[in-house]
Chains A and B, each alone.
Chain A
Amino acid sequence: MGGTDPDLPDGVHLTAVDDLFAWGKEHSLFYLLFATACCGIELMQTGGPRYDVDRLGMIPRATPRQADLMIIAGTITHKMASRVRTLWEQMTEPRWVVSMGACANSGGPFSKASYSVLNGVDKVIPVDVYIPGCPPRPEALIDGVMVLRERVRRYRTLGLRDRDPQVIAGADDDFGTHPGKA
């Protein structure tokens, strides 16, 4: 992002405002503490000392009003769906959603057999990144976060550019760029 000009004083750096905003957002993806099933265990583990997503600037927030990212970690029932929607509506723009695991993606093991499980959280809120797995390991969650960070980096706060199409973490490289695989 940007570059230095030899005619400028030391420490002065030229960049586009959008790039600066994107840089800031990308490195401070505060996520909402929200977990409904066993994916939540993996989410907690990801935040624990072994995987330590704090190093990526990801700090858990206890209120949606302070969160940039909502990680749907677990099964969402029809009864829970309206609460998920309310939490998402309380988040400030720009907001991001990661659907973690088979249940949040499509209903997973409950998709055919259960009367009460929502078959995919994308029926009630827009999802940016889907992470397959049942549940995904912390590596998979971090992989999905890296894909999301690429998306955040391309987000134009002041510009009119639309969001990128949705991507599936861990899938073939045809699905968008990936910092670890480029």
Chain B
Amino acid sequence: MDADALLAAVQRTVPEAVAVAAGPGRYLLVPAAAVDGLMLRLRDETELAFASLMDLTGWDLLGMPGAEPGIAVGWWLESPRHRHQVAIRVHLPREAPAVASVAALWPVAGWWEREVYDLLGVHFSGHPDLRRLLLPEDWEGHPLRKDYAYPVAYRGVAHARDGQRFAAPPAAKPKPGGA
């Protein structure tokens, strides 16, 4: 199935899906509310058969050229049977971002969603065990957000050395050419 046919197949389920050119390929930008039904269909429909979730990650769009401030989450799917791939992406608001979990469809997503939750604060609804993966349970904030402020201390241990205090990193500057 070529890229256009793939897009058409996805659009039968999610009419709002749009293909966005990115590098040599394209990704499909879909509304967050459509993720739950779309992922099940991508995995189980015979002509799609995306049996493998290759990657799941998220990133902060704050300050990125041409993007509204928000949190992006991306899924990269592969069909070993048909040897085709698709990249799905959603843009979520920075305040309380939430999207459906796919851990029930691809168990490998469990830890990836925990990582995205840990570092970006995205809530994956339906995840069986949504806890922080890398940082301690009582850590404050989500460090991969671009407006994250460094901790002054953690459990009484100062973060800075010898009285130095770490300032928050400067706000991201829009790059030239950005919107």
Please determine whether B161 and A115 come into contact, CB atoms closer than 8 angstroms. no
Q: Check if A97 is an interface residue, CB within 8 A of chain B.
A: no
Residue on A nearest B137 in the bound complex, by CB: A79
Pick from B148, B155, B161: contact of A82, CB under 8 Å:
B155
Residues of A within 8 A of B20 (CB): none
Pick from A79, A116, A119: contact of B161, CB under 8 Å:
A119
Cα separation A116 to B155 with both chains bound (whole Å): 12
Residues of A within 8 A of B155 (CB): 78, 81-82
Interface centre among A78, A82, A115 (most CB of B within 10 A): A115
Contacts A115-B150, A115-B151 hold; do A78 and B136 have CB atoms under 8 A apart? yes
Please determine whether B160 and A78 come into contact, CB atoms closer than 8 angstroms. no
How many A-B contacts if CB must be within 8 Å? 31
Please determine whether A123 and B151 come into contact, CB atoms closer than 8 angstroms. no
Taking the closest CB of chain A, its distance from the CB of B164, in whole angstroms, is 9
Residues 7-48 of chain A: 1 if any B CB is under 8 Å from the residue's CB, otherwise 0?
000000000000000000000000000000000000000000
Task: Count how many chain B residues have C-beta atoms less than 8 Å from C-beta atoms of the other chain.
Answer: 14
Residues 82-118 of chain A: 1 if any B CB is under 8 Å from the residue's CB, otherwise 0?
1000000000000000000000001100011001101
Q: Check if A124 is an interface residue, CB within 8 A of chain B.
A: yes
Residues of B within 8 A of A106 (CB): 161
Residue on A nearest B150 in the bound complex, by CB: A115
Residues 145-160 of chain B: 1 if any A CB is under 8 Å from the residue's CB, otherwise 0?
0001011001101111
Please determine whether A119 and B135 come into contact, CB atoms closer than 8 angstroms. no
Q: Check if B143 is an interface residue, CB within 8 A of chain A.
A: yes
Residue on A nearest B144 in the bound complex, by CB: A115
Contacts A79-B135, A115-B148 hold; do A124 and B161 have CB atoms under 8 A apart? no
Residues of B within 8 A of A79 (CB): 135-136
Please determine whether A118 and B143 come into contact, CB atoms closer than 8 angstroms. no
Pick from A107, A115, A124: contact of B157, CB under 8 Å:
A124
Please determine whether B143 and A115 come into contact, CB atoms closer than 8 angstroms. yes
Please determine whether B161 and A111 come into contact, CB atoms closer than 8 angstroms. yes
Residues of A within 8 A of B158 (CB): 123
Cα separation A106 to B155 with both chains bound (whole Å): 18
Please determine whether B161 and A107 come into contact, CB atoms closer than 8 angstroms. yes
Please determine whether B157 and A123 come into contact, CB atoms closer than 8 angstroms. yes
Cα separation A14 to B47 with both chains bound (whole Å): 90
Residues of B within 8 A of A144 (CB): none
Cα separation A91 to B127 with both chains bound (whole Å): 41
Taking the closest CB of chain B, its distance from the CB of A121, in whole angstroms, is 11
Q: Check if A120 is an interface residue, CB within 8 A of chain B.
A: yes
Residues of B within 8 A of A (CB): 135-136, 143, 148, 150-151, 154-155, 157-161, 166
Give 30 CB contacts A-B under 8 Å. A78-B136, A78-B151, A78-B154, A78-B155, A78-B157, A78-B159, A79-B135, A79-B136, A81-B155, A81-B157, A82-B155, A106-B161, A107-B161, A111-B161, A112-B166, A115-B143, A115-B148, A115-B150, A115-B151, A115-B159, A116-B135, A116-B143, A118-B157, A119-B159, A119-B161, A120-B161, A123-B157, A123-B158, A123-B161, A124-B157
